[in-house]
Structure 1
């Protein structure tokens, strides 16, 4: 029996790729103060997030086509998560805040991907009710329940459901709102293009 922590070689996402984005972030000189330029500079964070999301969608697509067993898909998602959520060396106050927000939103994305692969969700559950439950759990500081609800929302979105605009607009600022921003990024990526489904991911069975 192979060890459960055996490293799976893959090219879905790499540390070099993440570091390249960090290099671009540093070069952007992002600041909150200058409204006109900050939107253009801030695009690097959106693109950085999308790159991670698309890599994970490729893993999901490979699993759905039976080219990648669920156990291997989970291991690869875990590897991508470890790369993207690694603590980043301070760059500047504004950039550090943006990276922290980006990584928090990605926590929601990864929870959704993992929930979908593990099939730990009910396709008939109402997304709006799950969002409300997540917010209520955060308010009572039950963070485990909150992320569990968000994970199910992500799985349902990956299964083809839509995020309800009304629920998303009424979200109070907090962890759940940031996590759901990560789910929103998944939905946007799925709507934007389905080319990731044909990508071979250069998967190698180690």
Structure 2
């Protein structure tokens, strides 16, 4: 199979089929939001698991990039491929499920931006995450969404480089776009604190 630029192999880190299987599970689950407006029970866990699935695929790309098994350009293209799959508009399922999918996609916007910033080196290791969160919130309040998302990307890149995302920082963020994007960064941080099997040198078949 033809590879990306500069590659002799092609990796299927994530596929549209895989994403559509999650959407099918949501459709069949008859998902309903509870009074807390948070996903509950087995049906709610689908959204957590599908986000983790995406994050792990992205971390696998980064691991191969760090081992110089795929070049920077290809790594960015692979992240872009997954982003295109996950952020594509979904046919309406139900009001509650639609709300959760939009929330999930918003969260993943932060994750994808972080991965791209890390691979591109668009961050300063000397920056403090707490300071950047304040910059992002100020940009959001000024409706400068591009600056806000760019700052979130820097935060995520720092997390990917090994910096800690403290609970205190997260607790002080009011609900809004920045908070939802930071959820995507928190998912990256949580995945990195868990099993590091995504670093294993094996091809993912995308299933």
TM-score when normalising by structure 2: 0.91
Q: Kindly state the Cα deviation for residue 34 of structure 1 after the two structures are TM-superposed.
A: 7.3
Please say if residues 59 and 201 of structure 1, whose CA atoms lie closer than 8 Å, have aligned partners that are also in contact: no
2:70 to 68, 71, 74: 68
Which of 112, 119, 122 is residue 121 of structure 2 equivalent to?
119
- The correspondence for 1:48, drawn from 47, 50, 72, is 50
The secondary structure found in structure 2 opposite 1:189 is helix
The residue number in structure 2 matching 1:18 is: 19
* Structure 2 equivalent of residue 88 of structure 1: 90
Please identify runs of 4+ aligned residues in structure 1 that moved more than 6 A: none
Q: What does residue 153 of structure 1 align with?
A: 155
Q: CA deviation at 1:165?
A: 1.9
Looking at structure 1, the residues matched to 96 and 194 of structure 2 have their Cα atoms a distance apart, in angstroms, of 29
Partner SS, residue 172 of structure 1: coil
> Structure 1 unaligned runs (5+)?
none
In 2 relative to 1, CA 186–15 (structure 1 residues): closer, same or farther, beyond 3 Å? Answer: same
- Determine if contact 1:54/1:189 at 8 Å carries over to the other structure: yes
CA shift for structure 1 position 41: 1.3
**Cα RMSD, aligned residues only:** 2.1
TM-score by length of 1: 0.91
Partner of 2:188: 186
8 Å CA contact retained: 1:45, 1:102? yes
Task: Check the 8 A contact 1:58/1:201 in 2, yes or no.
Answer: no
State how many pairs are aligned: 199
Q: Which residue of 1 aligns with 2:106?
A: 104
1:164 shift after superposition: 2.4
